[in-house]
Amino acid sequence: METIGGLRAPLTVASLGLAQLLGASWPWSLAAGLGVYLGAGGWRFLRVAAQTISRDLSGLYVLVRVKFIVRRYLRTRSTVPSIFAQRVALHPDKPALVEEATGEVWSFSELDRRSNAIAHWALTEGWCSGDVVAIFMESRPIMVALWLGLAKVGVEAALINFNLRRDSLIHCIEVSQAHGMVFGVELVDAVAEVRGSLFSRMTFFWTGDLGAEQCLASFSAQQLDILLNSLPQTPPPVIHNKGFDDRLFYIYTSGTTGLPKPAIVVHSRFYRIAAFGYYSYRLHSDDIIYTCLPLYHSAGNIMGVGQCLIHGLTVVIRRKFSASRFWDDCVRYKCTVAQYIGEICRYLLSQPVRPSELSHQVRIAIGNGLRPDVWEAFANRFNIKHIGEFYGATECNCSIANLDGKVGACGFNSVILPNVYPIRLLKVKEESMELIRDSRGLCVPCGPGEPGILVGRINQKDPLRRFDGYVNQEATNKKIIHNVFTKGDSAYLSGDVMVMDELGYIYFRDRSGDTYRWRGENVSTTEVEGILSSLLNQRDVAVYGVSVPVATWWCWGLN
């Protein structure tokens, strides 16, 4: 879709000037100019503008509002803990987090007190601002209290995928340079397997139900719950100088070219992701969110739990997804918002009909990866009024959101004012996925319907355009391309292939990296090849993803 540009604008201006020189009145001159504009294809722009103006204004409102608040927090050097403290003061007794497994409810004041105790514990361990502690456990409220409490004294958490084992687990812990590790007792066997291969300076702590003390004592792990009971729950002393653009924690990417990489999440990025979700989908402080997504990913921990910490919503946390209990949980806890990934929606559709699937109060489902062939079936069967599909990697600066429920789209960019949010789809060579450049050495943007790689222009001075990257600088550099729109500029390279239609709606097509989907995770074929090769006496191994027929959806085994 061509916007105002090319020859239309100069032809229109020239026609106005010519009409005036010939002595035509202003009304006739304007009519002549309009005729030239429409004749040169301007009618297409006007048609698109009429169809998208409402959507674009909504998006502009969200963008401006979030940017204004972010700049205010930058000036005041706010942090996620300081913003959370404001919510605690507003409604200390309101439920903040609910653990589905036990039915335990943590109020905002209780979450604050427990995170304060964790902050004091971190200080007693001698950890200081900038140190890292690994967190390895299934999703539950104590995980939130842990990273929040650590952040209160400037310590950064590395959130480890609880499905990892052996070499992958060792890699994620070591690359974070963690001084200590807190793990759930349910993962004691996984930790025992790797304990001898980790840094000798690391200290280990466990949390959870009793019964595994003998095994835990074998590698000197301390019970964190007992330690916390003896510590004060008052606010810790402010001993760090961190602000809104400083590091909060690390979330690991899928590792499209190898083992997982820890992406840097700063306080402003946490706020930005949560705020875009809140304002884009018009959430309210009295909403109750149901999440069964893992808290080691940004979808569950930022888009979900972030609504609690930043905006005061209640979040119900289920440790693992259950297709048979999903709607029962939503009814039980009166949830009004549910989080999903595409696989969840398909598994729910494969379940037998049950009364709870229509007696819930969920008005919006927010997530990503919902395929067009499942979208309408999911919304219609379960009476979901609004699907809030979005796209955005933890570290990216080109997140997009579907604001108006366009089926199949993961977001949009304005055709009328494309530079307000400077993202583009760039042409690539189909086989190598190498960027195509013009005679000036600049990248070539895609037209409507043309698949291309999504990129976002980098501006480190703009909190919404900056790219914080990864712990490893080399990995960060690989995601940055130069001379994209103009000479000397730079952009974040998402690696994801998308298509934009004439109205600016964007549709996800594929990933250019060597990954495949398994149980809702992006798995690196390189990582799997390495494991298989070691099991097969270092033989050469090739791994690639294949399309799985619908009939095998049940194989995930989540009942």
Please answer whether residues 401 and 390 qualify as being in contact, where contact means their C-beta atoms are separated by less than 8 angstroms: yes
pLDDT averaged over the chain? Answer: 88
Residue 48: pLDDT band by 50, 70, 90 thresholds? confident
| Average pLDDT estimate for 463-468 | 93
Of 307, 420, 375, 370, the C-alpha closest to 58 is 420
| pLDDT, tens digit (0-9, with 9 covering 90-100), for 71-102 | 999 999 999 999 999 999 999 999 999 999 99
Residue 159: pLDDT band (50, 70, 90) is very high
The token duo for 377 is 């079936």
For residue range 261-300, list pLDDT tens digits in order.
999 999 999 999 999 999 999 999 999 999 999 999 999 9
pLDDT band, residue 540 (cuts 50/70/90): low
Span 25-50, average pLDDT: 60
- Between 238 and 88, the more confident residue is 88
Residue 122 pLDDT greater than 60, yes or no: yes
Q: How high is the pLDDT of residue 11?
A: 45
Non-local CB neighbours of 400 within 8 Å, separated by 6+ positions? 390, 391, 392, 410, 411, 412, 413, 423, 506
Return the pLDDT at 512: 62
Helices 80-90, 267-280: axis angle to 10 degrees equals 50
- pLDDT for residue 33 is more than 60: no
In this structure, what token pair is assigned to residue 442? 């600049």
User: How far is residue 361's CA from residue 557's CA, in Å, rounded to a whole number?
Assistant: 27
Reported as a pLDDT band with limits 50, 70 and 90, residue 511 is confident
d(CA 7, CA 509): 33
pLDDT of residue 254: 72
Q: Is the pLDDT of residue 548 over 70?
A: no
**Mean pLDDT value of segment 449-455:** 96
Query: In this predicted model, what pLDDT tens digit does every residue of 171-204 receive, in sequence order?
Result: 999 999 999 999 999 999 999 999 888 878 899 9
Question: Model confidence over 338-349: pLDDT tens digits?
Answer: 999 989 999 999
pLDDT of residue 396 exceeding 60, the answer is: yes
Pick 150 or 201 by higher pLDDT: 150
Confidence of residue 555 (pLDDT cuts 50, 70, 90): very low
Answer yes or no: are the C-beta atoms of 424 and 398 closer than 8 Å.
Answer: no
pLDDT band at 238 (very low <50, low <70, confident <90, very high): confident
Judged against a pLDDT cut of 50, whether residue 557 lies above it is answered with no
More confident position, 299 or 546: 299
The sign of the torsion formed by the CA atoms of 528, 529, 533, 534 equals negative
Task: Quote the CA–CA distance of 165 and 163 in Å, as a whole number.
Answer: 7
Can you list the domains of the chain with their CATH numbers?
8-59 (no CATH), 77-320 (3.40.50.980), 418-508 (2.30.38.10), 515-556 (no CATH)
- pLDDT category of residue 551 using cuts at 50, 70 and 90: very low
239 confidence band (pLDDT: 50, 70, 90): confident
Q: Three-state SS for 35?
A: helix
Q: Which residue has the higher pLDDT, 469 or 47?
A: 469
Percent with pLDDT over 90 in the chain: 74
Q: What is the mean pLDDT of residues 43-63?
A: 87
Contact (Cβ atoms closer than 8 angstroms) between residue 227 and residue 146: no
For 207-233, what is each residue's pLDDT tens digit?
998 665 555 666 688 999 999 999 999
**pLDDT (0 to 100) of residue 423:** 96
Q: Looking at 203-268, which runs of residues are DSSP E strands?
A: 203-207, 221-223, 247-252, 262-266
Please say if the pLDDT value at position 39 is more than 90: no
In the block, which residue shows the tokens 């402080």? 285
Assess whether pLDDT exceeds 60 at residue 552: no
What does the pLDDT read at residue 196? 85
